[in-house]
């Protein structure tokens, strides 16, 4: 959005009961106004009439509402008011569930489909820019993005990428005066040395990774490969068979033709944003292009100190809360084979038994995220101490890679996975003892 001075933003239904969009909007350096029916956290304007917003006409650049319209008996009246206070050329965003259980605040009247967004635009006389339904359950939110018509004010600018802009404060802020005992890694084998061995033993036909940075791991692939990173910092040219999509992973899977760029994946390395919602989505998206003989490696599952495992960066060594993915996959996807590895500096999760048709994570995504962000707030000792780790130098790991490759080449992937389950059952923890 282009605006003279600070961006002026209004949120309809702003009370922070179990999370809010406010933390995202605040990163835009804007003037924020929160509107709701009752006073509370995040509310600056309390409505006397639920269908009259006491704000001036055509005064705001962005007006949005998330998970509110299902609770409004006459939601179209609310939308008309949102249009009234939006500037010519301004944007409106509506996010509402298309599924999920009844949740009364104090009523729950509606579920919405993308066609409902077109109907709202037609009724209000504004432009619908896009609408879609989220793949993430159980709410499968319907989203509508609207523009209040203006004859000569083109204000939509897709550069620079907003996701990247919002990521910068989270990923790249290095705190000062961190105690020395916090700043260290752990592990028996460097994560890149382990990845080299994975390539050598698996001999993947197609390799992908999220989070390219300097390109060091992408260059390990002796096969066609695709990296996904909005701002890589390559230190040397890539192999001609190696490509990079200059997008965030969300944008790659949502806005590009991912299927045409991804061959069936034999090996994937996920080292993207260090927060659970991103790591989990990256895994879910990648699995859709995998097969039973695929291998996925998720980096940064083992903070070496509890402070390294915080969602907001507080140390130079930092995993974020990616460690939560172990618990999620154990509980929601017991069909997967999970091998947490003691790689340095911050651990790796080896995932086998991929099933692109399994939707369990997609159907429970919203609930899982609410639970693990709001209730799993402390880094457990068993994560910091790596109590369930496998040593990546254990010959068992190399043997598993050899089995996976043989199963893929002979078309016996499922039988191979059954053997691997038997082998690893009851074998935690394992250590390599030097002779």
Q: Strands 295-299 and 348-352: what pairing?
A: antiparallel
Answer yes or no: do 209 and 354 share one domain: yes
CATH number at residue 384: 3.40.50.150
pLDDT in tens, the chain (435 residues): 555 678 999 999 998 876 678 878 887 778 999 999 999 998 999 999 999 999 999 999 999 999 999 999 999 999 999 999 999 999 999 999 999 999 888 899 999 998 999 999 999 999 999 999 999 999 999 999 999 986 555 444 444 455 555 555 555 566 777 888 999 999 999 999 999 999 999 999 999 999 999 999 999 999 999 999 999 999 999 999 999 999 999 999 988 899 999 989 999 999 999 999 999 999 999 999 999 999 999 999 999 999 999 999 999 999 999 999 999 999 999 999 999 999 999 999 999 999 999 999 999 999 999 999 989 999 999 999 999 999 999 999 999 999 999 999 999 999 999 999 999 886 555 555 554
Answer yes or no: do 96 and 38 share one domain: yes
CA-CA distance, 142 to 112, in Å (whole number)? 6
User: How many domains, the chain?
Assistant: 2
Angle at 253 between CA 252 and CA 259, to 5 degrees: 105
What is the extent of the structural domain holding 121? Answer: 7-157
Q: Is the residue at 431 inside a domain?
A: no
Q: Is the residue at 19 inside a domain?
A: yes
Virtual torsion, Cα 379, 384, 390, 392, nearest 10 deg: 110
Closest CA to 94 of 144, 129, 32: 144
Answer yes or no: do 272 and 202 share one domain: yes
Q: Within a 13 Å sphere around the CA of 432, how many CA atoms are in the beta-carbon half?
A: 15
């Amino acid at each position: 959005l282009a605006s003279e001075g600070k961006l002026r933003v209004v949120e309809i239904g702003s009370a922070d009961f179990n999370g809010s969009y406010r933390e995202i909007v605040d990163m835009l350096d804007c003037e924020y106004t929160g509107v709701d029916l009752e006073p509370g956290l995040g509310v600056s304007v309390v409505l006397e009439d639920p269908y009259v917003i006491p704000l001036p006409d055509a005064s705001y650049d962005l007006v949005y509402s998330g998970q509110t319209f299902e609770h409004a008996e006459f939601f179209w009246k609310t939308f008309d008011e949102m249009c009234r206070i939006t500037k010519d050329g301004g944007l409106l965003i509506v996010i509402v569930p298309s599924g999920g259980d009844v949740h009364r605040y104090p009523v729950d009247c509606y579920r919405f489909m993308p066609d409902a967004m077109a109907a709202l635009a037609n009724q209000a006389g504004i432009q619908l820019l896009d609408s879609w339904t989220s793949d993430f359950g159980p709410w499968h939110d319907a989203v509508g993005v609207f523009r209040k018509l203006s004859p000569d004010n083109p204000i939509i600018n897709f550069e620079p990428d907003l996701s990247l802009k919002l990521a910068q404060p989270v990923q790249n802020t290095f705190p000062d005066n961190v105690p020395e005992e916090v700043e260290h890694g752990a592990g028996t084998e460097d994560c890149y040395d382990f990845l080299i061995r994975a390539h050598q033993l698996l001999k993947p036909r197609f390799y992908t990774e999220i989070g390219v940075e300097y390109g060091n791991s992408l260059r390990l692939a002796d096969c066609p490969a695709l990296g996904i990173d909005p701002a890589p910092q390559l230190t040397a040219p890539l192999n001609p068979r190696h490509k990079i999509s200059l997008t965030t992973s969300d944008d790659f899977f949502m806005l590009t033709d991912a299927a045409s760029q991804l061959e069936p994946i034999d090996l994937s390395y996920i080292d993207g944003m260090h927060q659970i919602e991103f790591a989990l989505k990256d895994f879910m998206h990648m699995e859709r292009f995998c097969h039973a003989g695929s291998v996925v490696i998720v980096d940064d599952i083992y903070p070496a100190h509890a402070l390294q495992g915080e969602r907001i960066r507080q140390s130079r060594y930092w995993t974020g809360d990616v460690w939560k993915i172990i618990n999620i996959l154990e509980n929601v996807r017991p069909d997967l084979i999970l091998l947490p590895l003691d790689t340095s500096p911050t651990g790796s999760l080896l995932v086998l038994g991929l099933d692109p048709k399994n939707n369990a994570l997609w159907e429970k995504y919203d609930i899982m995220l609410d639970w693990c962000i709001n209730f799993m707030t402390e880094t457990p000792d068993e994560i910091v101490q790596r109590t369930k780790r496998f040593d990546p130098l254990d010959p068992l790991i190399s043997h598993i890679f050899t089995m996976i490759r043989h199963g893929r080449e002979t078309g016996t992937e499922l039988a191979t996975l059954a053997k691997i389950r038997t082998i690893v059952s009851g074998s935690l923890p394992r250590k390599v003892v030097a002779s």
